[in-house]
């Protein structure tokens, strides 16, 4: 359905209509991505696709503790722990002693993890390049700028708000 022809409730302004069209297009993109990944829960290396997000974060941002990794991908620590265990078993991530705290460990990509990350990134970039080959270079750059801006706004809006100091203290007192 052409989103410009969707019924419009009475009394809405142009900004609402533009947001409605944008929302419709975002849904189309998300559904297309879901269809493309359907049935592909495990990558060619036998690792869950969701775990690749963790591998990518470790490659791009460096070693970190499991809890910090979970926080950086806005995921539950137990889910991240399970996915990290799969990455470790696959030889893509290793646990290293934390130089700042000998009792803790840092997660870091292995050389095989770097190879797998690069192979996945190359595959993704080739697909995007093929899909946008007929676009003007300026349109591709403009899309990047707009998506970076939109992603930043989403992250800022949807990021969990920090716990107020008084609530954090009450939580400590209860332990």
Q: Residue 26 falls within a domain, yes or no?
A: yes
Q: Which residues pair with residue 93 across a beta bridge?
A: 109
- 104: containing domain: 49-113
Q: Backbone phi, then psi, for 108, in 5-degree steps?
A: -145, 145
Number of domains in the chain: 2
Mean pLDDT within 124-131:
94
For 70-126, the pLDDT digits (tens) are 998 888 999 999 999 999 999 999 999 998 888 899 999 999 999 999 998 998 899
> Residues near 105 by Cβ (< 8 Å), separated by ≥ 6?
65, 66, 95, 96, 97, 98
pTM: predicted TM-score of the whole model, two decimal places? 0.72
Shared-domain flag, residues 56 and 107: yes
């Amino acid at each position: 359905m052409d989103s410009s022809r969707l019924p419009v409730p009475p009394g809405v302004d142009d900004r609402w209509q533009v947001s409605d069209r944008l929302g419709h297009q975002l849904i189309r993109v998300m559904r297309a991505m879901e269809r493309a990944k359907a049935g592909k829960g495990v990558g060619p290396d036998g690792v869950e696709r969701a775990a690749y997000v963790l591998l990518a974060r470790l490659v791009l941002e460096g070693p970190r503790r499991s809890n910090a990794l979970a926080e950086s991908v806005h995921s539950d620590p137990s889910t991240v722990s399970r996915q990290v265990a799969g990455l470790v078993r696959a030889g893509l991530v290793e646990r290293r002693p934390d130089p700042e705290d000998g009792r803790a460990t840092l997660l870091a990509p292995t050389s095989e993890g770097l190879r797998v990350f690069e192979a996945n990134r190359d595959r993704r970039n080739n697909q995007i390049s093929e899909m946008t080959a007929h676009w003007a270079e300026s349109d591709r750059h403009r899309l990047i700028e707009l998506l970076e801006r939109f992603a930043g706004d989403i992250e800022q809006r949807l990021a969990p708000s920090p716990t107020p100091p008084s609530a954090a203290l009450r939580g400590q007192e209860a332990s």
